[in-house]
């Protein structure tokens, strides 16, 4: 259930970059605001893609062009994330005569004047009067969503015997690589989970290399476990990601995605962070360090541990701040 922070009838768009992480950020904030946002996928042609975030919108998307992306009536609020959406955010602000309240999630790289309100994670450097900062990213997995998942368990998850460990897998990024040693390590962790008496549920992301998923699936088969002990999502049917976070007694998540690690910390279950092969410390390393210092996560050190913490819900805080500043914006 949404928080209903805005006046009834408030209209909204989401500018989607095509990246699932960006879309999760935007959808999470929109849902927390109680918005039925219209999603608009931004797909500029190559030249305008390369010029973003500093360049113009693709002319075919400009106001006044038949079937253009920026066609009125313009919304009260627009939420965007991703480099290629920045020119569209600026153009919409101008086309609406300044009446659309613009929200950008993540660092736009074009400074704090890019939008009326900008959210960045703590490990990014951008700061300013209109810049909102939280430790973790916004996402759709609010406490209400996880509570509903616990009340109505997915049959594929409900059949697993307790306790249950979730493995949340990402993939190669600018910082992390998934090499042969990571394939072997993650398969060994899957076997360890089962041999220690826990059931196992595994969900890969779009970026997860197929050989990693295959190695983990093979590890479960090698131990001869049945469907009441292991479930590896193979991409068919709906991804039970929220169900896994809701029902996990403990979680192992790869460190390549700030979004995934933050979402795991919304569960309240002990979060163990596996760091794939990398070339050295990064902003992500600092993010994990902060979670560890705050008692919400621990780096994988060869064994599972149990501890408790208050689940993180940055999304609700961000949504309330958007609503507050939108109210001030409309009043002025």
**pLDDT above 70 (res 223):** no
Residue 1's pLDDT is: 42
Instruction: List Cβ neighbours of 249 (8 Å cut-off, separation of 6 or more).
Output: 162, 163, 164, 165, 198, 269
pLDDT digits (tens, 9 = 90+) for 277-312: 998 778 888 999 999 999 999 999 999 999 999 999
- Tokens matching residue 57: 């919108």
DSSP sequence for 37-71? PEEEE----HHHHHHTTTSPPPGGGSTTSTT-SS-
Residue 254's pLDDT is: 97
Instruction: List Cβ neighbours of 312 (8 Å cut-off, separation of 6 or more).
Output: 135, 136, 262, 265, 266, 296
Percentage of the chain beyond pLDDT 90 is: 87
Q: What is the DSSP letter of 119?
A: E
> Helix or strand or coil: residue 103?
strand
**pLDDT above 90 (res 46):** yes
Q: Which secondary structure element, helix H or strand E, spans residue 164, and what is its range?
A: strand 164-169
Q: How confident is the model at residue 3 (pLDDT cuts 50, 70, 90)?
A: low
Look-up of token digits 């208050």: 310
Kindly list the structural domains of the chain, giving each domain's residue range(s) and its CATH number in brackets, ordered by start.
12-141+315-331 (3.40.50), 143-299 (3.40.50.2000)
Interatomic CA distance for residues 310 and 220, integer angstroms? 32
Residue 77's pLDDT is: 98
CB distance 157 to 244 below 8 Å: yes
Percentage of the chain beyond pLDDT 70 is: 98
pLDDT digits (tens, 9 = 90+) for 94-148: 999 999 999 999 999 999 999 999 999 998 999 999 999 999 999 999 999 999 9
Interatomic CA distance for residues 23 and 14, integer angstroms? 8
């Amino acid at each position: 259930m949404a928080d209903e922070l805005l006046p009834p009838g408030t209209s909204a768009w989401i500018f989607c970059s095509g990246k699932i992480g960006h879309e999760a950020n935007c959808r999470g904030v929109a849902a927390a605001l109680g918005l039925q946002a219209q999603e608009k996928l931004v797909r500029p042609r190559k030249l305008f893609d390369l010029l973003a975030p500093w360049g113009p919108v693709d002319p075919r998307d400009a106001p006044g062009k038949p079937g253009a992306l920026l066609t009125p009536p313009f919304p009260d609020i627009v939420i965007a994330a991703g480099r290629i959406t920045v020119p569209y955010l600026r153009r919409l602000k101008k086309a609406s005569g300044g009446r659309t309240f613009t929200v950008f999630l993540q660092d736009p790289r074009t400074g704090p004047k890019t939008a009326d309100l900008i959210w960045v994670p703590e490990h990014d450097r951008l700061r300013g009067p209109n810049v909102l900062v939280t430790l973790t990213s916004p996402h759709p997995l609010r406490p209400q969503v996880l509570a509903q998942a616990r009340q109505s368990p997915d049959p594929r998850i409900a059949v697993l015997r307790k306790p249950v460990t979730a493995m949340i897998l990402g993939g190669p990024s600018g910082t992390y690589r998934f090499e042969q040693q990571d394939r072997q390590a993650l398969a060994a962790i899957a076997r360890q989970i089962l041999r220690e008496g826990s059931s196992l549920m595994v969900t890969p992301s779009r970026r997860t290399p197929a050989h990693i998923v295959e190695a983990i699936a093979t590890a479960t088969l090698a131990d001869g476990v049945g469907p009441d002990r292991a479930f590896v999502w193979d991409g068919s049917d709906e991804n039970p990601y929220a169900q896994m976070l809701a029902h996990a007694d403990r979680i192992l998540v790869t460190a390549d995605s700030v979004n995934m690690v933050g979402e795991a910390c919304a569960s309240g279950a002990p979060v163990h962070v596996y760091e794939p092969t990398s070339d050295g410390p990064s902003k992500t390393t600092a993010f994990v360090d902060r979670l560890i210092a705050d008692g919400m996560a621990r780096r994988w050190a060869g064994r599972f541990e149990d501890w408790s913490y208050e689940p993180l819900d940055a999304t609700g805080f961000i949504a309330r701040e958007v609503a507050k500043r939108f109210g001030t914006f409309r009043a002025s």
